[in-house]
Amino acid sequence: MTHSAGDQTRGDSSAFFTGDHSAQMSQNEVFALCMKAARGAGMSWGMADEAGFAASWLTARGLDGPRHLLAQLTAMQGRAWGDLCPTIAPGKWSAATGKTICPVVLGATLSDHAILPGGLASGAILTGPVDFPILLCPFLSGIAAATGQIAVLEWTDGHVEIDANGATPVAAVSALEGQTGVKLRVSLRPGTGPAHSPLPAPAIGAQTVAALNAFALRTTVPASDASRAGAGAASNDNE
Amino acid sequence: MTHPAPLSAAATAVFQRDPAHVMRLARMGAGHPTRLSFLRVLLRRIETEGWLCDRPVWQVDDKGVGHAVYRVQGPGCCYSLVAFAHDLPDEMRSDRVIATAWDATFALFDGDPTAADIERLRQNVPYQEAGRITSNELTLARANRSVRLFAHVVEALSQGRQPDAAEMDSVGYLMRTTAVYGSGKFGAADRACIAARPELTGPFQVEMLTVWLIRAFTADIVEHMARVKGGDRAVRLNADMRRDLGVGNSTGLGMAPFVVRHPILLNNWTAAREEALARVRSQAAATPQSIAALHHALHAAILNAAAWHSEHPVQTPRLADLRRDLAQIAATLPGWDWATPTPWDALWRWGEAHLSTEGQEVLLSLVLEPHGALIDDLADTMGADEDVSFRLNGAMPVADLRAILQEHYAWALEIDFDLPEATARFWYVSEEKLEPRLGERAQEDGSLLEQPLGIARLASLLGKTLEGMDGDLPVATVLLEHPEHRLMVRRAQMAAHHPYAEIRDNLIGADMLPIDMMRCKLAFFGANRFDPRSDRWIRISLFQGAVFPDEIAPGPRA
C-alpha cells in the first residue's frame, strides 16, 4: 500500500515532511523515528535504542543525526550480525575479514566493555575499518562521562576530543561527516573539557525522514479485518 | 493542622506494601486518583502560589468559529493556551486517533503569544498531526463536543434557565479531548528543555495544564453559543453546575504501552504513592482534624461512585464492589477506635482483610487525603530523568544479573511459555494507521513483528540464555553474542534499583486486560469515572469538581 505524507488518518506521531521541505525535529521525534528505523533495518530492540540515542545526541549538538544514521542503516542491509561486530583482543578490535564495523554496535560494545580488561579504561584501542564513525561520538561521550575522562578519537588526518558534554571544539565532529570505512584509534585521557553552549538543532530533510520512515514501516503489521475490529471505538461518537 | 515530622524512609519501611502485591495488573487496574495525582499537584501549586489567570483574547464568531487565548502567570512563568474553535459537521466527528477534524484544537504556548505566533499556530494547529509546531509550544491537543449535552446546555442557557442536572450528571463534560500530545511531539519543546522548571518538574504538568484550560474553554464556548442563540435572554452557567463539568477523554490502546516503556517513571509514581501510604500508616495517632477530613473524603467518594456509570461487563461488577466497600467503610468508621496505637495502620489492615481490591485501593486514596502536610512533598519525587539509567552496566557479572532476575522477575520465570495461553496475544503497530494494537497469535499474522512489551517472556528467555553460563562472565560478553537480550538486560538493571518498575503480570497472556494498564496510568493523572467501552478503550473524566481559572485568587496564600 502507499502512504501519502499528509495522511492525517494515521495514528503516528512522527513528522510529516513533503517534497524538499525540511524542518527542525525535537529530540523525542529524532529518537523515536531513528529507533524504529534501526529496528526495521534489522537491529535488535535494545540496539535500536542505542541507534536512537546516537542520532538524537548528534542532533542536539547541531549535527544531522538522522541523515548519518540513515547512511549506516542503508549500508548494513543484508549483512549478518557477526559481520557488523568487532572481534575483541587487547588493544585491537578488528573487523571480520573484508568487512567494516557498524559504529552503533562498536559504540555500544565499547561502552559495555569500558572498564573491563580489553576496554578503553585499560588502554588505547585500534579498530576499523568503521562505517560512518561520526556515529561513534555519542558513545564516546557516554564513556567519558562514566569514567570522568576525555575520549580521544583519531584517524589518519584528524582527531577529535569528546567529553561528557560533547566535542571540543564543537565543530570538530563535523570533520567526520560523510567519512566511512575509517581506521581509528580510540583512547581515554585524564581531564574534563570546557563547558559548551548548545548549537541550534539542524533542519532535517524530508528525504531523510521519508527514508527512515520506510525502514520504520518494516516494524509494522499490515492491516487485517481482525485488527481493524479491535482498534477502538465502534460506537457513534456523536452521543 | 499540625502533623508530626515525616518519618524517615527506613522508619516507614515496615509499613510499605510489597511490590509483588502492588504491581499485579488487576490491582493496578483498580487504581483511584489520589492527592498525589498529577492534576491535583498542578492545581495545588496554582492555588497555593495564586497564579494570575485571564483570557486576554476571545475572537469567536456567531457560528462558534474563531480563537481564544487563556493565559496563566505564576512566579517566573507564563503559559498560554491558544484555542481554535471550529464548526465541525456531525459526520466528521470521531474520537479515534485517526480522525481528521475536530470541534476544537489547541496548543499550549510557552509565554504570551504575539499576533504573529497566533497566526503561525492557526496555519498548523487545526491540522494537528499534519501541521508542525515549534519549541515555543509545549503541547498540541484537540477535543470534540459531547453533542447531546452541548446542544442541551446551549438550548437551556439561551432560554434563560440552567441545564437539567440529570443530563449534566449523565455525561459530565461538554467536550472530550481525543489527544493531548507533549514531550516534543510534532516539533514541540522536548521535555528535557523544560523539566528543570519548578512548576514542570513533576510528570505531565504541561498536559494537565492544557486540559485544565481546555475545560475553561468548553464552558466559555457553550455560554457563547447560548448568547448567540438567546441574546439578552441567555444566562451563564451557575458556578456549582460549572464546577461539576469535567473534560472527557477517550483513550485507546495507544496509552497502554507507555507504562511498560517507561519503567522508571512507573516506579517513581508508584513508589511515591506507596511511601505516602506507609507514612500515613506509621502515624502514632490520629488528629480530630484528620479524622474529620477522612469522613469528608469518604462522603465525596460515595457521591462520585454513585454518579459513576459503566455498562461494561468488567467494570460493572467492579463498580458494585466499590459501592459495597464504600458503604462498608462508612458503616465501620463511626465506631472506629482511633485511640488504638497506629490507628491508620489498624484501619488499613482492616481494609485489607475486609475489602475487595477496588475497595482497598479507594481506601488508599481516602487515607492519603487528610495528610497533605505529611505526604505532599512526595510529588517532587515522581518525575524521572530516564537518560541517567540508559547506559548499560556491561561489567556486571552474569551471577549478579541472574540474582536480579531471581529477586525481581521470579513471577516471570515461573510462567510456562510453552503453554499457548501464555503467549496468546502479541502487541504490534498497524502499518495502516501506525497505532498500537493487540493481536491473537494463533489467529492473526504479524507476530514476527511483535513489539517488545511481553516483558515476562523476555525475562524468561534471558534467564534461559544465562543458565549454565560462568557466573563471572561479564554481561558485555553475553550481549556481544546475544544482542537480542540487550533491551531486557537494560530493564533488569533498572529494576534492580526500582522495585516498582515492572507490571508483574504476563502482558501477552490470554487473560490480560489492556484497560487495566490504562486505568493505572489515568489514575495517576487524576482521572475518575473510568468507563471502559471495550477491553481496549476507555472513557474518563478529568478535573470534575475542580476550580476554574477565573476562580483562582491571585497572590501567594498565607
pLDDT in tens, B440-489: 999 998 999 999 999 999 999 999 999 999 999 999 999 999 999 999 99
For B2, the 3-state DSSP assignment is: coil
Please tell me which residue of chain A has the smallest CA distance to B149: A239
> Which of B135, B431, B479 is opposite residue A217, by nearest beta carbon?
B431
Q: Is residue B135 part of a domain?
A: yes
Strand bridging mode B66-74 / B52-60: antiparallel
Contact in structure between A96 and A82 (CB atoms under 8 Å): yes
A194 touches chain B (CB under 8 A): no
How far apart (Å, rounded) are the C-alpha atoms in residues B47 and B554? 8
pLDDT at A236 over 70: no
> Would the CA dihedral through B294, B299, B302, B308 be positive or negative?
negative
Domain of residue B76 covers 50-252
Phi, psi of B471 (to 5 degrees): -65, -20
Q: Is residue B272 part of a domain?
A: no
Q: How many CB atoms lie within 10 A of CB B351?
A: 22
Contact in structure between B355 and B328 (CB atoms under 8 Å): yes
Contact A26 B184 (CB under 8 A): yes
Q: Which of A132, A231, A232 is nearest to A173 (CA)?
A: A132
Set of chain A residues whose Cβ sits within 8 Å of the Cβ of B439: 221, 226-227
DSSP state letters, B6-20? PPPHHHHGGGPPPHH
Residue A192 gets which letter from DSSP? -
Mean pLDDT of B210-224: 98
What pLDDT does residue B244 have?
A: 92
Q: Is residue A200 very low, low, confident or very high in pLDDT (cuts 50, 70, 90)?
A: confident
Q: Which of B453, B395, B422 is nearest to B262 (CA)?
A: B453
DSSP state letters, A152-185? EEEETTEEEEE-SS-EESGGGGGGGTT--SEEEE
How many domains are contained in chain A? 1
Selected for mutation to probe chain B from A7, A18, A26 (highest B CB count within 10 Å) is A26
Please confirm whether the linkage preceding B198 is cis (ω < 30° from 0). Answer: no
pLDDT at B521 over 60: yes
B123 touches chain A (CB under 8 A): no
DSSP state letters, B82-130? EEEE----GGG---STT----SEEEEEEES---HHHHHHHHTTGGGGGG
- Amino acid (one-letter) located at B325: D
B312 touches chain A (CB under 8 A): no
pLDDT at B424 over 60: yes
Q: Is residue B20 part of a domain?
A: no
Distances (CA, A) of B355 to B292, B364, B512, B516: 22, 12, 23, 19
How far apart (Å, rounded) are the C-alpha atoms in residues B247 and B219? 10
Q: Is residue A227 part of a domain?
A: no
Query: How big is the CA angle at A113 (ends A112 and A118), to the nearest 5 degrees?
Result: 170
Q: Is residue B269 part of a domain?
A: no
C-alpha grid cell, residue B65: 468559529
Please tell me which residue of chain A has the smallest CA distance to B188: A26
Q: Is residue A7 part of a domain?
A: no
Return mean pLDDT, chain A. Answer: 87
> Which of A111, A227, A238 is opposite residue B90, by nearest beta carbon?
A238
Q: Is residue A3 part of a domain?
A: no
Contact A232 B443 (CB under 8 A): no
Residue A8 gets which letter from DSSP? T
Contact in structure between B184 and A29 (CB atoms under 8 Å): yes
CA dihedral A105, A111, A114, A117 (to 10 degrees): -30
What pLDDT does residue B47 have?
A: 97
Q: Is residue B127 part of a domain?
A: yes
Mean pLDDT of A86-105: 95
Contact A44 B135 (CB under 8 A): no
For B159, the 3-state DSSP assignment is: coil
A80 touches chain B (CB under 8 A): no
Contact B444 A233 (CB under 8 A): no
Q: Is residue A10 part of a domain?
A: no
Q: How many CB atoms lie within 10 A of CB B54?
A: 14
Q: How many CB atoms lie within 10 A of CB B397?
A: 15
How far apart (Å, rounded) are the C-alpha atoms in residues B256 and B242? 31
* Residues 220 through 279 of chain B touching chain A, CB cutoff 8 Å: 250, 252-254
B408 touches chain A (CB under 8 A): no
> Which of B184, B479, B483 is opposite residue A29, by nearest beta carbon?
B184
What is the radius of gyration, based on Cα positions, of chain A?
20
Where do we find the cell 568487532? A86
How many domains are contained in chain B? 1
Q: Is residue A124 part of a domain?
A: yes
What is the pTM (predicted TM-score) of this model? 0.94
pLDDT at B238 over 90: yes
Give B336-388 pLDDT, tens digit per residue.
Answer: 999 999 999 999 999 999 999 999 999 999 999 999 999 999 999 999 988 88
Helix (H) or strand (E) holding B25: helix B25-28
Phi, psi of B289 (to 5 degrees): -65, -40
What pLDDT does residue A9 have?
A: 41
What pLDDT does residue A22 have?
A: 83
How far apart (Å, rounded) are the C-alpha atoms in residues B411 and B366? 30
Contact B433 A146 (CB under 8 A): no
B416 touches chain A (CB under 8 A): no
For A25, the 3-state DSSP assignment is: coil
- Amino acid (one-letter) located at B353: A
Domain of residue A106 covers 22-195+203-217
* Residues 141 through 180 of chain A touching chain B, CB cutoff 8 Å: 142, 146
> Would the CA dihedral through B363, B367, B377, B19 be positive or negative?
negative
Residue B430 gets which letter from DSSP? B
Q: Is residue B175 part of a domain?
A: yes
Give A25-43 pLDDT, tens digit per residue.
Answer: 999 999 999 999 999 999 9
A175: left (phi over 0), alpha (psi -120 to 50) or beta: alpha
pLDDT at A228 over 70: no
Strand bridging mode A149-155 / A158-162: antiparallel
Contact A232 B97 (CB under 8 A): yes
pLDDT at A230 over 70: no
Residue A101 gets which letter from DSSP? B
Phi, psi of B162 (to 5 degrees): -75, 150
Q: Which of A80, A83, A90, A193 is nearest to A137 (CA)?
A: A193
- Amino acid (one-letter) located at A209: V
Who's near B356: CB < 8 A, 6+ residues apart?
Answer: B321, B322, B324, B325
pLDDT at A148 over 50: yes
Q: Is residue A13 part of a domain?
A: no
Report the percent of chain A where pLDDT is more than 70: 85
How far apart (Å, rounded) are the C-alpha atoms in residues B527 and B510? 27
Contact B94 A237 (CB under 8 A): yes
Sheet holding B528-532, edge to edge: B52-60, B66-74, B77-85, B104-110, B137-145, B173-181, B246-251, B538-542, B528-532
For A2, the 3-state DSSP assignment is: coil
Set of chain A residues whose Cβ sits within 8 Å of the Cβ of B475: 112
How far apart (Å, rounded) are the C-alpha atoms in residues A94 and A88? 7
For residue B5, how many C-alpha atoms fall within 13 Å in the half-sphere facing its CB? 3
Helix (H) or strand (E) holding A126: strand A125-130
Query: How big is the CA angle at B68 (ends B55 and B119), to the nearest 5 degrees?
Result: 125
Contact in structure between A11 and B435 (CB atoms under 8 Å): yes
Q: Is residue B408 part of a domain?
A: no
How far apart (Å, rounded) are the C-alpha atoms in residues A90 and B222? 73
What pLDDT does residue A3 have?
A: 35
Report the percent of chain B where pLDDT is more than 70: 97
What pLDDT does residue B125 have?
A: 93
pLDDT at B4 over 60: no
First to last CA, chain B: 14
